[in-house]
Amino acid sequence: MPKKLGFIGTGNMATAIINGAINAGVVAAWEIIASDPDAEQLAQISKSCNVETTSSNIEVAKNAEIIFLSVKPNVYRPVIDEIKDSIKPNAMVIILAAGLGLKHAAEMFGSDCKIKLVKTMPNTPARVNSGMTAVCAGENVTQKDLATVLKIFNSVGKTEILPEYLFDAFTGISGSSPAYAFMFIEAMADAGVKHGLSRRQAIDISAQALLGAAKMVLETGENPATLKGEVCSPGGTTIAAVCELEKQGFRNAIISAVTVCAEQYKVLGDAAPETKETFEKV
């Protein structure tokens, strides 16, 4: 039976998108098919999401209108070689891999590639419907196609349409930044434990503070510098802490981390994506 969405690879990101799309009513569970070489993984996603599963990537390619390539860049070549002759003529293929450009992906499908390709970069908070996804449509993608893609990814958070050359910057401040935030929460929690809080209390308090601060930025529309100033009373505790962070190079460390991340993204884009033929899921 034809399916609206097909997933090749059923890792955390694919599972998050499947759950989000179903829960938001974008598609019904029966309209999704997913493949994976791991039988245990297939059994798990079949049970949790109630979608059709298969060990055959070709079956997904033959039946889905929109195909998510949710595998690592280093196995895109063998996967595309396997499915490229089985994809429906008007199908759309969604790239979920860092560093794989639209041009390179099109070359893998063939010199006369007419497949609708969309490059995306989601982040892991999609698992709790708070993700951020960059989207770049290839030349064959219509506005209606793009609207469908945005609807799917908006079911797990927010989206931003970006030109492909800005994906390195996006990765530095969104794709990879949850890791920075987790480190910040962990460090805050360590400090809380040092001063007498239990580990659970310290983690919950720190995470909620960070969540609240982020919501203030998004919902008030105010500059983060302005909001920071509102917390910093003259001669108070917060300004003392802010000065210590500046002394320790807090902002410079963040800027340097984002820069290194963006540069590594470019390195991944330059590297051959088929150097290791193991099926790794995203």
Provide the pLDDT for residue 282: 62
The CA distance from 6 to 2, in Å, is 10
- Interval 88-98 mean pLDDT: 89
Phi-psi region of 142 (alpha: psi -120 to 50; beta: other; left: phi over 0): beta
Give domain limits for the chain. Answer: 3-166, 176-248
Residue 133 forms beta bridges with which residues? 159
Tokens 């609708």, residue located: 116
> 134: alpha, beta or left, given left = phi > 0 and alpha = psi -120 to 50?
beta
The CATH number of domain 176-248 is 3.40.50.2000: no
At 139-176, the pLDDT tens digits run: 889 999 999 999 999 999 999 999 999 999 999 999 99
- Contacting residues for 106 by C-beta, under 8 A, at least 6 apart: 113, 115, 117, 138
Nearest CA among 177, 34, 166, 178 for reference residue 101: 166
pLDDT at 110 over 90: no
Predicted confidence (pLDDT) per residue in 31-75, tens digit? 999 999 999 999 999 999 999 999 999 999 999 999 999 998 788
Mean pLDDT across the chain: 92
CATH superfamily of 3-166: NAD(P)-binding Rossmann-like Domain (3.40.50.720)
pLDDT digits (tens, 9 = 90+) for 7-27: 999 999 999 999 999 999 999
Say if CB 201 and CB 192 are below 8 A apart: yes
Angle (CA) 49-52-124 rounded to 5° is: 45
- pTM for the model stands at 0.90
Residues 42 and 225: their CA atoms lie apart, in Å, by 47
